[in-house]
Amino acid sequence: MSFWSALKEVTRARGRANEARALDAAKKSSHRWVRSVRAGTQAEDREGIDIIVSSDVGELFIQVKSSVAGRDRFLEKNRKKHIEVVVANCTDDELKKRIDAAINRAREHVIAKRKR
Edge to edge, the sheet with strand 34-39 lists 34-39, 51-55, 58-65, 84-87
pLDDT at residue 19, as a whole number: 95
Average pLDDT over every residue of 17-27: 96
pLDDT at residue 77, as a whole number: 87
Between the two ends of the chain, the Cα-to-Cα distance in Å is 54
| 3-115 is a CATH 3.40.1350 domain | yes
Average pLDDT over every residue of 13-34: 94
What are the sequence ranges of the domains in the chain? Answer: 3-115
Q: How far is CA 2 from the centre of its chain?
A: 30
Contact 22/62 with Cβ under 8 angstroms? yes
- Say which range, 13-17, 50-54, 60-64, has the weakest mean pLDDT: 13-17
pTM for this entry: 0.90
pLDDT band of residue 1 (cuts 50, 70, 90) is confident
Contacts of 10 (CB under 8 A, 6+ apart): none
